[in-house]
Amino acid sequence: MNIITCFKVVPEEQDITVKPNRDISFEKAPMTISAYDLNCIEAGTQLAEANGGNVIGISVGAKKIDDSKLKKNVLSRGPESIFMVADDKLENIDTYQTANALKAVAEKIKDYDLILCGEGSADLYAQQVGPQLGQLLSLPAINSVSKITLADGKAIVERTLENELETLEISLPAVISVTSDINLPRIPSMKQILAAGKKSATIWSAEDAGIGNLSATLGVIETKAPEQMDRKKDIVQGDSEEAIKSFITKIQEVLK
């Protein structure tokens, strides 16, 4: 059983800053694994642990995603190997192109029974790549999956819908997008981190992966943070009855 888990590399959310002109700055934000894809990797690893098999991590993106810390991070979470297309041609690609690039990687790996995706990415959360990848590979694709059980050649999945729990049976290979409540991603142990350093990572250029003619169709004109309301800078000092009263009055006035 070969399970492919897809992960996206995104800038670390908490280190993204807003500049005074409302521009978004990624300068201090290191690259990290999209949080939802940690659930995807964990789901793949748990399935392999329960049913036997091999987990492979795949990703596509700009050259910078080929980062040793990042790869070690993925490999310490269960996957035995990583395949990546890391090429600056893939900067700013849209979901359809991403799905196409992932398809190229999956086709190069050839031998797989299941492809897992996170529900959406931590940066854009378009929730498109999983379903589109299924379509491109002509495989059954299903999203919002919160539980997977494998049984000979099939997957029995649960989808938590608004008012009901849907249980479906789909034939493999398939592409499944999992929700963030499917599991709690593990914290890798000392030995797992150590072992990750010895696992293999294969990095391809867009040419290597046969998608050399792919180029970004999206151009970002600008990304701005929402306008912040100016602080009133009205400070009430002290803890006397009077100060508290004036504080409450001020709040009441604003709420009116």
Partner 1 sequence: MSDDRFDAIIVGGGIAGTVTAYLLAKEGLEVMLVERGNYAGSKNVTGGRIYSHSLEKIMPGFAQEAPVERKITREKISLMTEESNVTVEFSSTRLGEQGSDSYSVLRGVFDQWLASKAEDAGVQMVTGIRVDDLIVREGKVCGVIAGEDELEANVTILADGVNSLLAQKLGYRGELAPHQVAVGVKEIIELSAEVIDNRFNCREGEGTSWLFAGIPSAGKVGGGFLYTNKTSISLGVVSTLSELIKANKTLPQMLEDFKSHPSIEPLLKGGKMMEYSGHLVPEGGFHMVPKIIGDGVLVVGDAAGFCINLGYAVRGMDFAVGSAECAAKAVLKANKAQDFSAGFLQCYQSFLDESFVMKDLKHYRNFPHFLEETPRIFNGYPGMAADIMTDLFVVTGNPPQPMMKMMMKHVKNMGMLNIAKDGWKGVRSL
Is 235 a binder of partner 1 (CB under 8 A)? no
Task: Rule CB under 8 A: say whether 231 interacts with partner 1.
Answer: no
Is 189 a residue that touches partner 1 (CB under 8 A)? yes
Choice between 77 and 89, CB closer to partner 1: 77
Contact string (CB under 8 A) for partner 1, positions 24-63, x = contact = ----------------------------------------
First to last CA, the chain: 63
Minimum Å gap between C-beta 195 and partner 1 is 8
Nearer to partner 1, 78 or 173 (CB): 78
Stretch that binds partner 1, among 54-62, 127-135, 193-201, 214-222 (CB under 8 A): 193-201
What secondary structure does DSSP assign to 5-69, as a single string? EE--EEE-GGG-EE-TTSBEE-TT--EEE-HHHHHHHHHHHHHHHHH--EEEEEEEESGGG--HH
**Which stretches of 110-157 are DSSP H helices?**
129-136
Interaction of residue 190 with partner 1, rule CB under 8 A: yes
Q: CA dihedral defined by 94, 97, 99, 101, rounded to 10 degrees?
A: -130
Binding of partner 1 at residue 255 (CB under 8 A)?
A: no
> How far apart (Å, rounded) are the C-alpha atoms in residues 99 and 149?
25
> Using CB under 8 A, which of 191, 231, 232, 233 touches partner 1?
191
